[in-house]
Structure 1
Amino acid sequence: MAIKKSELYSSLWQSCDELRGGMDASQYKDYVLVMLFIKYVSDKYAGVPFAPITIPAGASFKDMVALKGTSNIGDDINKKIIEKLADANKLSDMPDFNDATKLGDGKEKVERLTNLIAIFEKKELDFSSNRAEGDDILGDAYEYLMRHFATESGKSKGQFYTPAEVSKVMAQIIGIHKANTSAATTVYDPTCGSGSLLLKISDAAKTEVTLYGQEKDAATSGLARMNMILHDNPTAEIKQGNTLANPLFLNEQGSLKTFDYVVANPPFSDKRWGTGVDALHDIHARFQEYGVPPAKNGDYAYLLHIIRSLKSNGKGACILPHGVLFRGNAEAVIREALIRKGIIKGIIGLPANLFYGTGIPACIIVIDKEGANNRKAIFMLDASKGFIKDGNKNRLRDMDMHQIVDVFNKQTEIDKFSRIVPFDEIEKNEFNLNIPRYIDNSEPEDLQHIDAHLLGDIPKADVDTLKAYWNVYPNLKASLFTASSRSPQFYALTVNKDAIKTTIYQHPEFVRFMGQMNALFEQWQTSTTTTLKDLQQGHHPKQTIHAIGESLLAAYTGKALLNKYDVYQHLMNYWFAAMQDDCYLIASDGWKAGTYRVLVENKTTKKVSDKGWTCDLVPKELVINRYFAVKKAAIEKLEAESENLSSQITELEEEHGGEDGYFAELDKVNKANVAARLKEIKGDIEAKEEITALKKYLDLTEYLATANKKIKEAQVKLDAAVLAHYPTLSIKQIKSLVVDDKWMATIAKDIHTEMDRISQRLTHRIKELAERYETPLPLQTKTVADLEDVVQAHLTKMGFAWN
């Protein structure tokens, strides 16, 4: 049966990481990814005529397997496998599998390489069968490994990888997803690293497009070439060299080749960009029109190279540090020229600490030559607050990515998030593009009202900030507040602060709104349930989640109080937590509820233990709840009895466990020691109460043992009955268990918690305001005076005088 995707990736990473030893992750990744590459191309192209990749005789993964355990394994991998593959496919800078400094000597090297090969022998890593599924799993496995290697590689060595979330955003905002592309459409990345950004752009296109990439680092460029092949882009051109000093994609005349789309994540603030570059006399005229970047900062050098590499209607996006938006001198001159030319379509400010190799915040500069002459504004978007912590880095959530793309592509202006900024406003700010100058994303300060603290009541301004709620519940406000008798600028609370929640939750308008929201979800649930139950073996899970995700967003678009992206994130969280694995199981095996034994091998003794049975698609708890509810209830009753007996035993131990207690003489309170003590004091008339307590303890432990035995027997019988029931499940029943009881039940619960959160926010805010101003200064003064009088009276009675 198919393995869960998440388990495959994590086990692959854990296995590889265990074999890493002391080697730096940035180096070890080369060995692991080359191994993955050889496995993939061997499965895919070995023996296939006219294949885009040649697998020479004796150089396949099977031939590598034959080298396991041999004393010359490292040298043989180099000569018999790597060299042949590299020569046949023009690959370069492959890692040395015989490097003792990295892999160890003698037995250590043999074992490490043998174990590494064994990892890739997993039957789940067979890429020869279903191409669509295989490529999907391979691509995600590769992405998973790359992200983990980047995380482990340290500050200066993780730059080979652009986070997938940022790459996806860039792919959507440059417009390739809606363009009429063809094989003639060209996409270029001048600092392509491992090629992950290029591939995300390619994935977004409707058709196959032609990819070009240049990478300065030799090993990383080799990695990019392999990455292209692994992702079914074997014709992509990846060249190695310094893009600024020696751009390698040229026309026949020697001028820069131009492309339809250019994307890049260049090294931030590259101090050595000018090495080998004569900027003032650049033969490619990259700096002629806009100006020469400063000698010690290459951000604009890369941006100008991108602009020069675009066709007259080309579009591009470049990740750069925020400094490019506001730094002065030479960069200010370039920035002004770019703005006046209308080249910059938009700027997206990203959260800090997204990228590997640096923690500084960055932005995406979106370039669009089409319509540049008529452009009169720049679209700015501040996405700096939308992220989640992921280890020591930040990461864009699915909701963040979707909102950025939606808002940017529709050029929607949202308070504190996005704006169309006209050129004349930018000019007034001396062409400074620093986003906070144009978008204030700060949260409004929760001001304390001195007058309300002095005289009581709640300021009208505070109540008015809840306008979004009053628009939905127009009469609820009157049920909670009345105009203050002392001023129209204040409200008095009409209910006790402890009744605020009840007043809100029982109000007819609140009840009606919640009913509407429940009906809205049920409508989406009904439609989506039909879609999910229609899934067939061989379906594409990514298309499935895209379709139901878009339908959920559409259902909640424009709904008051709710942020549709928050709702969407609940779905995506569950997708990655469980539903994705289920959909891949269905795509592989169909609607089968296959059970299997859970066998765990002890790493030291190699002994295998049987931990019972399970079913991935239909967990046994679902079957129990639906078909064995009576037996489950009986066991729960026994468990409650057991818990009650345990509590009585604990109480007895606490009651008699002190220094003078009946259990004080015992080294440890247990059945054997209590029985021994009882035998010791048998017949002692003075120990009558102790004997009673000890007998009660023994009786309770006996009852508990009997109850636990009954529980165990009932659980064994239930487990056997449930296991026997699985083969009788029809496909219709399996679909109902998975879609209704598992998926939809979880999604419904998660989305309803979002509604609860919104309601609780209103309740919490009103209660907070009520408590803030409930004790005005005169009342506080009187309370203090009254308490002072009470204390003075007590002191007087005691014969003390207080002056």
Structure 2
Amino acid sequence: MNKQQLASRIWESANKMRSKIEANEYKDYILGFIFYKFLSDREVEYLKKNDWEDGDLPELVEEDKEVVEQCRHNLGYFIEYRNLFSTWISMGRDFDASNVTDALSAFERLINDSHKKVFSGVFETLQTGLSKLGETSNARTKAISDLLQLIKDIPMDEKQGYDVLGFIYEYLISNFAANAGKKAGEFYTPHEVSLLMSEIVAYHLKDKEHIAIYDPTSGSGSLLINIGHSASKYMSRDSIRYYAQELKENTYNLTRMNLVMRGINPSNIFTRNADTLEDDWPIDLESYPPVLRVDAVVSNPPYSQQWTPEGKELDPRYSEYGLAPKSKADYAFLLHDLYHIKPDGIMTIVLPHGVLFRGGEEERIRTNLIEKNNIDAIIGLPANIFFGTGIPTIIMVLKQQRDNNDVLIIDASKGYVKEGKNNKLQASDIKRIVDTYISRKNIDKYSKVVSRSEIRANEYNLNIPRYVDSSENAESWDIYASMMGGIPNAEIDELSMYWDAFPELRDLLFAGDGTPYSSVKVENVKKEIENSADIERFRKKFTDSFADFDDVLRNKLITGMETVQVSKEEAVIGDDIFARLADVPLVDKYAAYQILDDNWNTIAMDFDVILTEGKDAVRGVDPNMVVKKDKEVQDGWKGRILPFDLVQKELLRDELAQITEKERRINDISSEYEELIDNLTEDDKQSDILNDTQDAFNAKGVAVRLKELRNADTEEEKALKVTLERYTALSKEEKNLKKAVKDMNVELHMKTKIVIENLTDAEVEEMLYRKWIFPISAGMKTIPESIVGDLEKKVQALSSKYANTLTDIENEIHSAEAELCKMLDDLVGNEFDMAGLACLKKLLGGE
């Protein structure tokens, strides 16, 4: 189920629930039931791995102490058969709301002591809120049943390519509770921002064998989950300990749910429901001071929230830096995070832009952070990337100890794509930022390494535009060229990156006369560029660099399928693409990387299936289930891995061509209908032979009129009869064609199913190549043509910019005035008319 399908289902369900519960509370119900289903399914999966069969599950009862203890010891909890989610679904009309309340109570009672910190109270919000779902037991039962039916179809695994719980949380906050979310400070960290922070942190920690990570405002837990995922590229997942603190109880429960659902060992999860600024945590009672320091802290705290600084002057978190103002706790959260990282640790925090330049207490803290050399980097993000707020934000990277004493400032505010009302970081934007952070390079209009002395000179103001000007250059107009013509050499020089790459091309296109101006000396700029030796060499260099790219990907992803490490492979292929482009000029390596990433999610999801079920899963065909009238029914079949249309295009070309030919003929018939209508007289168009809008024939009206024209006498009647007979013949042909196409599509659909199920090994590999590798290669091949096309547009624009000079325009005006004067000479009138015309001629420059 993709995001759009999931969002649609949630929207529909939430609308049904609106009369019963507040929109902002809906997420607590749906997320709670999703987590219960996950735990229920997980227990069944565990038992089946230990020799249980489906028929044995009814024996799963609390009285079987041995099984209870086995589950509690290995899973941390026990759910008996009658309380399983699958049992609720199978009960049908026998299901009752009390089944849920009884099950949740039993779950809390049977949590293993060693897992209470993870599971205790996790369903509290759900259980206490069930009474709101209806005034009567029957009403509550109906509401819960509707939710269960929705949830049973929501994916619970990690094969979706996105954080399902996090997405639902974000979707509901943005669509149903934006205002409530703002008031509560609930800004779900978009996956892309979370991934960016995670990649920076993971790179810093890559040489460690064991790490502890902490989020003091954990929300849905997405930041911790993504850091763990990124860090697992360098170490075992079981080597990571997760610490999370969250103020709101329902959101705190969501943190625990999400961490557990992502397969994190509960013994590595440490959570707390408390106020981060009021209650310092995590603590280590065996050390002094009793503070637990971790390898990395990540956070997206509520922006500019009020807090209580009174009495905290001696709090070790703040004492060396200062207290954030009462009305803005941004720096209070930052200092809390900084306090909890190890000397060699790292922290990343999302904050509003204001922390970079606001005065007062914040300026004092900012000054101390700079002088104590804690700020490592500042990354400016695009506006409108968070749901619920359009405020521009930054990521600040800090460390306790650093080898350098400068600050890297990156303005990444221009790198995004639009997605609905919001902006979104692409994979290439994230990689560009991370690569720039690692290399600490100065990049024009993007990044700058700023010395501490320069920051001091700016009075500790870190506002990004003071250091990085990412604004577009304003277009300038040369006065002389505008008056007299020619193209300023200075503007041609602005295309120097092209002339450096194509050293002969400039002289082929432009002619100079010893002045600061040149002219385009070829009639067809596009043709001259396309046929130039420079461009030919450029294309060949690009093609040669990717000559064996298909074979490399085929050997890596298809031939060596069993050894592919999906979580690491995209980065490996990305590095290969960068290496191939190292000596190719003009190509944006990150644009090439984006082509890879645009296709990678599909590849990764397919690998999840193949590595779980085996390569034979490529031959799998499953029922295509759709919802019609609130019921899930089968609508044909779909390939588990291979799309039907791909197989038809590659292996069933003849059958597809026959259908295409008939569909083409159907389109031709539609055009013929239009011609017949155009040839009708206006009276005929007003008659019953056409519909009310006069854009289609009315079959019944045509039949009646043909009967009337059986003995047509006049030429007009005979012509109309021929037209209507032609329509009748076309209509019959169209009907037969549509039936044939429908029947052929059904036949092709079933034939495709058989073909997929009986693919040879060679065909399996070829189909995977077509689905996985060919789109990437095809995308890469568009890159050089895009660059050449951009150059052509820029040269054409320069040529057009000064093509019409002011002198030319002035001459045209004089010519038009003279022509008008001649025309005035031919006019006659009374003495007053002629005096007026004479005055007008004088104004036009005539005599």
TM over 0.5: yes
Whole-angstrom CA distance in 1 between matches of 2:132 and 2:161 = 26
Deviations along 1:587-625, whole A, 9 cap, x unmatched?
444343334554645316x595x7544435333333333
Aligned residue identity for 1:651 = E
Paired position in structure 2 for 1:385: 414
Aligned counterpart for 2:471 among listed residues 423, 442, 445: 442
Paired position in structure 2 for 1:690: 717
- Contact 2:187/2:386 (<8 A) preserved: no
Aligned counterpart for 1:769 among listed residues 785, 798, 819: 798
Matched, 1:432 2:458: no
Whole-angstrom CA distance in 1 between matches of 2:294 and 2:313 = 24
Matched, 1:140 2:163: yes
Paired position in structure 2 for 1:105: 135
Paired position in structure 1 for 2:174: 151
Whole-angstrom CA distance in 2 between matches of 1:502 and 1:174 = 50
Whole-angstrom CA distance in 2 between matches of 1:29 and 1:138 = 21
Whole-angstrom CA distance in 1 between matches of 2:640 and 2:823 = 72
CA RMSD of aligned residues (A): 3.1
- Contact 2:690/2:698 (<8 A) preserved: no
- Contact 1:345/1:366 (<8 A) preserved: yes
Matched, 1:266 2:268: no
| Deviation, structure 1 residue 673 | 2.6
Consecutive unaligned residues of structure 1, counting only runs of 5 or more, are 128-133
Aligned residue identity for 1:264 = S
Residues 428 and 491 from structure 1, CA distance in 2 versus in 1: closer, same or farther, beyond 3 angstroms?
Answer: same
Paired position in structure 1 for 2:222: 196
Matched, 1:289 2:320: yes
Aligned residue identity for 1:514 = R
- Contact 1:537/1:588 (<8 A) preserved: no
Paired position in structure 1 for 2:833: none
- Contact 1:482/1:493 (<8 A) preserved: yes
Aligned residue identity for 1:683 = N
Whole-angstrom CA distance in 2 between matches of 1:554 and 1:12 = 44
Paired position in structure 1 for 2:844: none
Paired position in structure 2 for 1:507: 532
Paired position in structure 2 for 1:735: 765
Aligned counterpart for 1:516 among listed residues 525, 541, 548: 541
| Deviation, structure 1 residue 652 | 1.8
Residues 786 and 83 from structure 1, CA distance in 2 versus in 1: closer, same or farther, beyond 3 angstroms?
Answer: farther
Residues 624 and 209 from structure 1, CA distance in 2 versus in 1: closer, same or farther, beyond 3 angstroms?
Answer: closer
Identity of aligned residues (%): 27
Residues 504 and 385 from structure 1, CA distance in 2 versus in 1: closer, same or farther, beyond 3 angstroms?
Answer: same
Whole-angstrom CA distance in 2 between matches of 1:204 and 1:414 = 26
Whole-angstrom CA distance in 2 between matches of 1:424 and 1:726 = 67
Aligned counterpart for 2:557 among listed residues 522, 525, 532: 532
| Deviation, structure 1 residue 399 | 0.9
Matched, 1:678 2:710: no
Deviates more, 1:731-740 or 1:512-521: 512-521
| Deviation, structure 1 residue 664 | 4.5
Paired position in structure 1 for 2:34: 36
Paired position in structure 2 for 1:322: 353
Aligned residue identity for 2:760 = S
- Contact 1:538/1:588 (<8 A) preserved: no
| Deviation, structure 1 residue 381 | 0.9
- Contact 1:350/1:361 (<8 A) preserved: yes
Residues 442 and 112 from structure 1, CA distance in 2 versus in 1: closer, same or farther, beyond 3 angstroms?
Answer: same
Aligned counterpart for 2:429 among listed residues 397, 400, 413: 400
Deviates more, 1:561-570 or 1:642-651: 642-651
- Contact 2:659/2:745 (<8 A) preserved: no
**What pairs with 1:629-708 in structure 2 (closer than 5 Å)?**
629-659=653-683, 661=684, 664=687, 666=689, 668=691, 669-685=697-713, 687-703=714-730, 705-706=732-733
- Contact 2:383/2:392 (<8 A) preserved: yes
Paired position in structure 1 for 2:18: 21
Residues 258 and 70 from structure 1, CA distance in 2 versus in 1: closer, same or farther, beyond 3 angstroms?
Answer: same
Whole-angstrom CA distance in 2 between matches of 1:508 and 1:8 = 51
| Deviation, structure 1 residue 665 | 6.4
Secondary structure, counterpart of 1:364 in structure 2: strand
Secondary structure, counterpart of 1:318 in structure 2: strand
TM-score, normalisation: structure 2? 0.84
- Contact 1:74/1:110 (<8 A) preserved: no
Whole-angstrom CA distance in 2 between matches of 1:112 and 1:14 = 15
Residues 63 and 523 from structure 1, CA distance in 2 versus in 1: closer, same or farther, beyond 3 angstroms?
Answer: same
- Contact 2:689/2:699 (<8 A) preserved: no
**What pairs with 1:531-570 in structure 2 (closer than 5 Å)?**
531-534=556-559, 536=561, 541-557=566-582, 559-570=584-595
Secondary structure, counterpart of 2:557 in structure 1: helix
Deviations along 1:187-233, whole A, 9 cap, x unmatched?
22222223221222222222322222222222222222222222224
Matched, 1:256 2:291: yes
Secondary structure, counterpart of 2:350 in structure 1: strand
Residues 71 and 298 from structure 1, CA distance in 2 versus in 1: closer, same or farther, beyond 3 angstroms?
Answer: closer
Deviations along 1:102-123, whole A, 9 cap, x unmatched?
422333321121232234445x
Deviates more, 1:103-112 or 1:474-483: 103-112
Consecutive unaligned residues of structure 2, counting only runs of 5 or more, are 45-66, 692-696, 830-836, 842-847
Secondary structure, counterpart of 1:174 in structure 2: helix
Deviations along 1:733-779, whole A, 9 cap, x unmatched?
12212313x33333334334443332222222222221221111221
Residues 559 and 233 from structure 1, CA distance in 2 versus in 1: closer, same or farther, beyond 3 angstroms?
Answer: farther
Secondary structure, counterpart of 2:413 in structure 1: coil
| Deviation, structure 1 residue 444 | 0.8
- Contact 1:177/1:204 (<8 A) preserved: no
- Contact 1:376/1:423 (<8 A) preserved: yes
TM-score, normalisation: structure 1? 0.88
- Contact 2:709/2:721 (<8 A) preserved: no
Matched, 1:459 2:488: yes
| Deviation, structure 1 residue 65 | 4.8
Whole-angstrom CA distance in 1 between matches of 2:473 and 2:579 = 30
Deviations along 1:457-476, whole A, 9 cap, x unmatched?
11111111111111122111
Deviates more, 1:675-684 or 1:662-671: 662-671
Paired position in structure 2 for 1:493: 520
Residues 530 and 179 from structure 1, CA distance in 2 versus in 1: closer, same or farther, beyond 3 angstroms?
Answer: closer
| Deviation, structure 1 residue 653 | 0.6
| Deviation, structure 1 residue 658 | 2.0
Deviates more, 1:429-438 or 1:706-715: 706-715
Whole-angstrom CA distance in 2 between matches of 1:697 and 1:585 = 57
Matched, 1:363 2:394: yes
Matched, 1:620 2:644: yes
Secondary structure, counterpart of 2:242 in structure 1: strand
Residues 45 and 18 from structure 1, CA distance in 2 versus in 1: closer, same or farther, beyond 3 angstroms?
Answer: same
| Deviation, structure 1 residue 452 | 0.7
Secondary structure, counterpart of 1:573 in structure 2: helix
Aligned counterpart for 1:95 among listed residues 117, 120, 125: 125
Aligned counterpart for 1:234 among listed residues 260, 266, 283: 266
| Deviation, structure 1 residue 10 | 5.4
- Contact 1:540/1:587 (<8 A) preserved: no
| Deviation, structure 1 residue 710 | 4.6
| Deviation, structure 1 residue 426 | 0.9
Aligned residue identity for 2:725 = L
Whole-angstrom CA distance in 2 between matches of 1:86 and 1:109 = 30
Whole-angstrom CA distance in 2 between matches of 1:718 and 1:138 = 32
Whole-angstrom CA distance in 2 between matches of 1:29 and 1:557 = 48
Deviates more, 1:47-56 or 1:728-737: 47-56
Paired position in structure 2 for 1:187: 213
Matched, 1:420 2:445: no
Residues 396 and 795 from structure 1, CA distance in 2 versus in 1: closer, same or farther, beyond 3 angstroms?
Answer: same
Paired position in structure 2 for 1:131: none
Whole-angstrom CA distance in 2 between matches of 1:533 and 1:735 = 7
Secondary structure, counterpart of 1:365 in structure 2: strand
- Contact 2:170/2:387 (<8 A) preserved: no
Secondary structure, counterpart of 2:815 in structure 1: helix
| Deviation, structure 1 residue 255 | 3.4
- Contact 2:324/2:331 (<8 A) preserved: yes
Number of residue pairs matched by the alignment: 775
Deviations along 1:639-669, whole A, 9 cap, x unmatched?
444433332221121121424x577464543
- Contact 1:59/1:85 (<8 A) preserved: no
Residues 737 and 150 from structure 1, CA distance in 2 versus in 1: closer, same or farther, beyond 3 angstroms?
Answer: same
